[in-house]
Amino acid sequence: MPDRIAYCSYAKINLYLDVLNRRRDGYHNIETIFQTVSLADQLIFTEAGPGIALECSAQELDEGATNLAYRAGKLLQERTGCSRGVHIHLDKKIPVAAGLAGGSGNAAAALVALNQLWDLGLPDAQLRELALELGSDVPYCMVGGTIAATVRGEELTPLPPLSETWFVLVHPPIAVSTTRVFNSPKLILRGNPPAGGPTPAFRGAIEALECRDFARAVFNILEGPVFADYPRLAAAEERLLAEGCLAAGMSGSGPTLFGICLSKEDAERVAVTFDDFQTSVVTTVPAGIERTD
Ligand code: C5P
């Protein structure tokens, strides 16, 4: 085994997100369509003992116990009794706390990379269980691509991969608390999950996506509470549509917005109209993490 392993972890967007009901564990049953896009963090894992040392390019990120890459390493050590250590270099490109699962992707990469670096030999099923302990999006981030997800977001059903599609991501400079959004009195819950599979609305969105009918597929119930608190986000989404995007929505609990465009050139044209926000032009990728060494 090499003593240095490199991975990248991609950002995800939620093309569709509905919240059904509150669960006894405090989380919510959701229905969502995830898609990974070509905005990625880089992680280098170098064997170094005995603890976990994390060095991160983003100053606003904790390099200790609250960082998800660090926590992934700690969790693996605790559960396997492994006493080997690691130095993790994390080069952050995905905005933090942005609804893009950047931290969850870092955790997914750390689980998979450290399982290799430390010769732990944990099977995928066990890694997926640990992933869910770290966060609702982490099991998806291990896989990536076009996926329908239910329960907390960990029950994954692969969909036909979305063929090349270009997006403008708009990054408003505000921090949104996911916990606060999910527990907002302004959030309208759809109701208990039906016994026999997805709700008709979710099935409709999946069918619409297969025909690339983005206007019918894109939806996010969390826009209700978030846009009520931040009207600038609602206005930015309207601007994406006014600029000719095929559909526009918010990713996760925000604040990142995305517009779906006809081509890369079209996405670049829309992006430059947003001189008041940071933007990224990205396309679909079929994986959540990728080994890069
Ligand atoms: O799982 P994760 O730590 O990413 O979730 C952050 C917060 O989002 C949770 O503490 C919870 O309040 C909320 N959440 C939820 N239901 C989900 C996913 C997240 O209520 N399915």
- Token pair for 264: 């890369």
- What pLDDT sits at residue 49? 79
Burial 103-128 (b: 16+ CB within 10 A, else e): bbbbbbbbbbbbbebbebebeeeebb
Weakest-pLDDT range from 48-57, 105-114, 153-162, 197-206: 48-57
Has residue 128 got a pLDDT over 80?
Answer: yes
State both tokens at 22: 């509150």
Instruction: Say if residue 50 is preceded by a cis peptide, omega within 30 of 0.
Output: yes
Query: Residue 230: CB within 6 Å of ligand 1?
Result: no
Query: Could you tell me which of 176, 182, 115 has the C-alpha nearest to residue 142?
Result: 115
Instruction: Give the C-alpha separation, 257 to 239, whole Å.
Output: 11
- Whether 23 lines ligand 1, by a CB cut-off of 6 Å, is no
CA of 82 to the centre of ligand 1 (A): 29
pTM of the full structure: 0.97
Q: H helices of the chain, where?
A: 68-80, 102-117, 124-134, 138-143, 178-182, 200-210, 214-217, 223-229, 231-242, 264-272
What pLDDT, on the 0 to 100 scale, is given for residue 264? Answer: 98
Q: Is the CB of 149 under 6 A from ligand 1?
A: no
| pLDDT for position 196 | 82
Assigned token pair, 160: 């036909």
2, pLDDT greater than 80: no
Quick: pLDDT tens for 159-186: 999 999 999 999 999 989 999 999 999 9
Per the DSSP assignment, residues forming a β-bridge with 207 are: none
- The percent of residues above 70 in pLDDT, for the chain, comes to 100
What Rg value do the Cα atoms of the chain yield, rounded? 19
| Residue 64 pLDDT | 84
Is 93 annotated in the active site? no
**Residue whose CB lies within 8 A of the most ligand 1 atoms, among 30, 182, 221, 251, for a mutation test:** 182
Q: What is the mean pLDDT of the chain?
A: 96
pLDDT in tens, 19-75: 999 999 999 999 999 999 999 999 999 999 789 999 999 888 888 888 999 999 999
Give the active site residue among 18, 41, 92, 137. 137
**Ligand 1 atom 2, closest CA:** 135
The contacts of residue 86 (CB under 8 Å, 6+ apart) are 45, 46, 47, 48, 52, 53, 73, 114, 117, 118
12 as an active site residue: the answer is yes
Residue 42: predicted pLDDT? 98
Ligand 1 geometric centre to CA of 267 (Å): 31
